[in-house]
Structure 1
Amino acid sequence: MIQSRKHESTMKLVLYVFAFFMLWEWLRPVKELTDANNMTVFIIFMALSMALHFFRVRVWLRFVVLACFLGFSIHFLYYETLILDTTWLFDFFGKFASDVSLLFQARFLEISFEFQTLLVFILLWLITYLLHYWITVKKSIFLFFIVTVIVVSVLDTFTVYDASVAIVRLVIIGFSMLGFLSLFRLSSLEKLSISVPALRKWLIPLMVMVGFSSCIGLAAPKLDPQWPDPVPFITSYSEKATGSGETNRIGYGVDDTKLGGGFENDDTVVFRAEAQSRHYWKVENKDFYTGKGWVVSQESDELYTEFVNGEEITGGTVYPPGVKKIDLKASVSVKLPYSHVPYPESSSLNKVNAPAGEVYRYHFITERITSYKATGGGLKLKQLELAYSMPRFDINELKKVKMRDGIGMGPEFMNQYTQIPTAFPERVKQLAGKITAGKENWYDQAKAIEDYFDSGEFVYDQNDIPYPNETEDYVDQFLFETQRGYCDNFSTAMVMMLRSIDIPARWAKGYTEGTQINHNGERVYEVTNNNAHSWVEVFFPNVGWVPFEPTKGFSNRADFYYASSEPAEAPNKQQQTEQTVQPATKPVPTKEEEVSQESTTQPEKKAEVNWLTEHWKSMIAIIASILFATLLIYRFRRRWLPNVLIMLYKRKKDDQSFTKAYMALLTQLNRMGLKRPEGQTLREYAEYVDSYFHSGEMGKITRSYEKYIYRGGQNSEEWEQNRKLWENLIKKTIS
C-alpha cells in the first residue's frame, strides 16, 4: 500500500477531479444541441456530489444535502416566487404526480421541464455514485471512459457538435486515470507497499507519455478519412427506404429541404387555445423552392427585428387601410413547448404577452417569431396572450388585380416570390396556363388552380408517399405521376403553379385550427401534432398576403366576402362554401366584461395550486406511506422473496430453470449472511452451507448442478428431486 496517507488522499483527489471533468464532457454538447442555456447548476451539482463522496459523508447527510440543492436549483430555474413561499413547492409536486403518469404512458413529449430537470439531476446523481464506486472499489474506469468516447464521437458525427477539442481532453483525462488506477489496483492485489519515490517513478513517465503522445497527435500531419463518411450512407439508405414508403411521425418540423415520405398520426397535444375565432395557426413562411423542398432565401441579421414582452409589434404583417379588420385576443396554453410563437394565420399580430417571456425576434421573410431570454439563448414559453387583427378579404377588391406590376411591387419582390428552379419542368407551366386560360385576374386564376386539386384525379393520402429521385422534381412527380399526397404536396404544387404564371406566392406552415373542446365553460381549441399543416399565401398589391387552401378535404378559414356597395357576380358554389365556413366569432368583450370574465375564471395552473394547498397534508401522508411501505418491503425481502421464488419455479420443468433456480439460491444464501468467499469452489461452499444447516442437501444439489453444467441436460426425475432439495433449502433461508 502507499506509505503516506497524505499522498494517497492527494492521488485520490486527483482521480475525483479527473472523473468530474470526464463527466462534464457529457454536458458540454447539451448547450449546443438543445435550448438549455443554464448548465451551471448541473455542474455545481456534479462537483458537490463528487466532493461528498470524496469526504465520505454519511449516506443520509449526503442525501439531504443533494436533495436540498436539487430543490433550490429547480426553484431557481423555473419559479420567480420567494423560495420560502411554499406555493411553488405544491405546484412542483402537482406536476410531479401528473408527469409520473405521463412517463408510464410513454408520453414523453408532454412531460414538464421541471420533471425533465429532476430526471437529469437524478441521472447525474447515479453517475457520480458509479464513478465513486469505480474509483474506490473496482479501481477501473475503462468502461466509462470508452462509453464517453463513443458518445462524444457519435455526437460529433451526426450532429453539429464539434468534438475535436473534446476528444483531446478525453484522451488526456482517460489515459491519466487508467494509469493512476492501474497502480492502485496492482498495489491492492499484490499487497505491495509503494513508497513516495516509487510513486514518482510510476507517475512521471505516465504523465510524460500522455502529454507527449497528445502533442504528437495534435501536431503530426493527418491523413484524410480512410473510411467513407457513415452519414451519407445512412442517409442514402434512408432515402431508398423512404422511396418505397418509409413512415415518419407527423408533427411540426423545421427542415423542409426534402419533402416526401409517408406519415403516421400522432395525437400528442401541442397547445390549447382559447380563441374568439376559428383559424389556422402560423409558425413561418418559406420562399425559395429547390425542386425537392423549401428553404429560406436570406438569413442575415438585418432581416430581424426585436420587441419585448407586451410591446406593440412594429414591422410585422400590415394590411392596407382599406382592408377591414377585427381586433381579437387569444390565450394559448402550450403543452409541447417550442421556442417559436404560433399565431393566427393571415393576421396582423399586435402584441405577445407571456408570463415568462422576455425578448422576441421577428424575421421579415419567414415571419417566424422566436422567444429568447434577455441574457441570450432560446426560451420555451408555456403560456401566451396574443392580441391580433384578423382581416376580411373583399373578393371584388381581389379581382381588381390584373397587372403584373401593382402597388408596392418592385422587381426584387417579384423575383423573390415568383422564383422557380432553373430546371423546372415545362409541363408544370403548361398545365398552369391551361387551368387559368380565360381568367383575367389573379384571384380567379388562383381559385382555378385551387379548385383544380378538388378533382377526382387527386387523392389525399399520408401513407407510402414516395420521395422524388435525384433527377425528378417534387411538384412534377405529384402532378403527373403519383397524384397522391398530403398538405405539403398540394400546397407546394399550387405555389409553384402560381409562380410559373408570374403570380407572387409563398409556402406557409403551422397548424390547422384543431378540435373544439369545452374547458371550464370556455370555447377552447386543442391542437395536436396531427394538426400540423401547410398552405398557400398569394400576394395582392392592393390587399396583401391572402391565404388559399388547395389540400383536398380542408377548408379555407380566411374570411372572404363581397362588399355590398358594389355589384358583384353571383358567387359560384365554391365561393358559397367559403362564405359558410367563415370563422365562428363571438363579440369582442368590453373592458368591463373582460375584467368580469378574468375575475370569475381562474387559470388552470392556479386551480391546481389551490387544490394542492388544501390537500397537501394528505399528499405528504400518501407519499410518506408509499415510501415507508417500499422500504419495509425491501428491508424484509429475505422473508417473502423465497416464497415468490418457490411459486415461480414450482411448475417449470425446462433445463434452464435449474440453473436459474440454483443461482437464485446462491443469492438468497448470500443475502442471509452465508457469503461465499472469493476463490472458493462450489463444493467447498456447499460443505459450509450443509454444516450450517446440519444437512447434506446443498452438497447433493451442487453435484447435480456441476453434472448438469459439464454433461448438459437432465431428465424429469432428476429435476423433480433437485427441485424438492432446492425448495427445502430456500425455505430454510426465511427464518
Structure 2
Amino acid sequence: MRRIKDKGPLTFTMLVALLIALRQFLGIYHFTDQGFALGMVGFLCLFLWVLPHWSLRFIGSIGIYAVTLYHYFPLGQSLGGAWLAALWRQLRPLLTMVREEGFGRTPSLLAFSLVFLAVCLIAVLGIEYEVFSLSYLSLLGYFLLLSIFNHLEVLPESLIIVLCGLLAAGFRHFRSVGGTAWLRYVLLGGGLLGLLYFAAVNLPDAWVRDPLASHSVTLRNRLNEAGLYNFVAEVGVGGNTRTGFGEDDEVLGGALVDDSTVLFRATQDSPHYWRVDSKDQYTGKGWLQHTTDQPQVIEGANFTVTHSETENFLHRQEIELTFESLDTYLPLPYGNSQITLNSGFSGFVYFENSQRVNLLVNEEETRQLSMLSAVPEFPVSALQQVGVTQGEDFDNYLRLPGSLPQRVADLAKELTQDAVTMYDKVNAIESYLNSSPEFRYSKVDVVAPLLDQDYVDQFLFESKVGYCDNFSTAMVVMLRTLGIPARWAKGFSPGTAIPSFEERKTYEIKNLNAHSWPEVYFAGYGWIPFEPTPSFTNPARPGTPEEEVTSSSVASSEVTEVSTTTTTTQSSESQGSTSETSQVQNEQDAEDSTATTNRKISWLVLGLLLVIGALVVYRYGVYWGMWLLCRFTTQPLAKGYPYLLRHLERRIPRKSGETLLAYSEKVVAQWPELADLMELTRRYESSLYGGQKETTDSRELLLTVMKELPKKR
C-alpha cells in the first residue's frame, strides 16, 4: 500500500507526459489505431505502479512491449518464436539502412520499435527510479526534434511536459517532509495542467513566438554561422535520393521518398492514367523486357497509336501536352490516339510489343504536342464471355522463374476457386489485393527482400506492406500461375488539376505521380488495365464509371528512386486516391463528422479541466500563497501573518480598533480548529512590538492554520 501511495502521483504525471509524446509520434506515422498503443502505455504505467516486486514489473514491461509491437506488425505470424524471427528479418536490413543513410527517413517498423522501447525505458526511469531530469528532458528533446525535422508546432505539448516534471518533483519533495500536503499539491497541479493546456492551445502563438524571436536573433545568427541550420536541413530531408519515373526495374523494393518536380502538363476534358511502357519478364526481384522489340522510326509531325483492338469507344477528347522535362518518352491515354507534334519534336520511335512511344527531340525550347484520343469501351458483360488466350505469341506473358515459391500459386488458386470466367478470376485477385485488410499501403515502410527471397512471395506472405510495384507485380505473377496472360505496365496516375472555372482542366503530372499496374489480355479487346493498389482508381479499368474520376482528383503515386551511390532505380509511390468515388465521399463525410464530434469532445474535456482547475485554485490557492511566502522569505511570520489576517477578515469581519489578540480570540471561538492562531498572534505582536526574533517553528504554525482555512466557508 505504501508503494501505491508514494508512486501514485508520479505515475499520473508520467502517464500524461508519455501519452502526449506518443500521440505525436503515432500521428506523424499515420497509425490509425492509436487507441491500442495509448492504452498499453496506461497498462505499462499501471504495472510499474502497483506490482509489488521488481521482477513482476520487469516481466510486465517486456510483455507489454512485445504485445504492442505484435499488434501493429504481426508479419503474418502468431505471437511467438516464429514472429520474433520474422521481426528480426525485417529489422536487420532496416538497421543497416539507418547505419548507412542516417535517420533522414525511418520506416515505421523500426521507428515504432525504437520509440515504444524508449517509452518503456522513460516510464521505468520516471516511476521506478524517479529520475525526473533524464526522463522528462528526453521527452522535451523529442519535441525539439519534431519541431526541427517535422516543422510541427509543439509549444503546448512542451509546456505540459515541463509542468508534469515540476509536479513530479514537487510531490517528491512533499513526500519527503511528510504530511498530507501532497494531495493538495496533486489537485492543484491537475487544475494548473488543464489551465495551461487551455491557454497554450487557444492563445495566439504570436504572444509567445514573437518575443522569443526578437530576443533570440543574436543567438540564432551565431548558430546559423556555425552551420547548425544547414546540418539540420541536410539531415532532416535525407538528401541522398530523388524520385521519378525510371527505366531500370530489374530490382524493386525498399522505402522511397517522393519528388514533386513537374514533368508535363495536360489540358483535357477528363483525367485518366498515362501509359508509358510495359515489361514481360519477371525475374523474382523485378522486371525486364524479354521480347525483342525492334524500334520503328517515324519522321514527321503526325502518328496514330492503336492500343485497343475494339472498335467501340465511349467518347473522344482533345488533349494538349506541354513538357517541362527532357525525357523522351510519350505518356499516352488508353485507347487510340492521333498525335500531332507542335514544337520541340521532329518524329516518333515506336515499340510495337510494349506499345511504347518515344519522341525525337529537336533544339526548340518549347516542347508541345496535341492528340485526339478515343477512349475504348470495355463492357463487363462482354468480357465475361472471353476465354483465356493461348499460343506462342503469349508464352512470354505466362513465363515465371523456377524459384517462385509454390505457395504463391496455391494462394492464386484458392482465391479463384469459385470464379468461373477469366474475368471473374482477374477480378477476384484484384479485389483481394486492393481490399483485404491483411495488406497495408505504405511507401516508407517497405523492406527490400533479402537475397534469397522472392519479391512477390515476401510481399504476399511476410511483409504485407507495399506500394504500387508490390501490388501490381503480385497480381501479374498470380495471374500467370493460373495461365492468364498478363504483363506489368507503368506510367503515371492522372495528376493534379489546377483550379479553374473552365470546363477543360489543366493537370500537372509530377515525378510523384509515377505509377505501375497490371495489364491482362482479352481477345478482341487487347491489353486491358486493372488496379490492385489500394486507394487508386483507373478510369480505363472495365466497370469503372466516369464519375468516379473527377477533375479534382489529386493523385499521389508511384515514383522511382535513383540513389546517389548506386545505379539501381526503384519505383515508389505516395498514398492518395486518384478519384473521388461515392465511397470516398461517404468516408470523407464520416471523417468530417467524426472530426466535428472529436472537437466537441475536446472542448468539453478542456472545459471540465478549466472548471476543476478553477475550483482547486479557489479552494487551495490561499494555502499555496502562504506556502510560497514561507518558502521564499527569511521572515515568514512578518510576511505571512498579514497575509493570513487579510483572508481571515474576509470571513469574519474585524471591528475598527479591535486588537489582534481580541480578534484572534473571536476567530478561535467560532472556529476551534484554528487554535494555533492565538500562539501565532502572540509571536507576531512580540516580534512587531518587542523586537523578538522569529522562532523556527513559526513557518509550520502558519502552514497549519492556513491548511484549515480553506475548509471554512
Under a length normalisation based on structure 2, what TM-score does the superposition of the two structures give?
0.42
TM-score by length of 1: 0.41
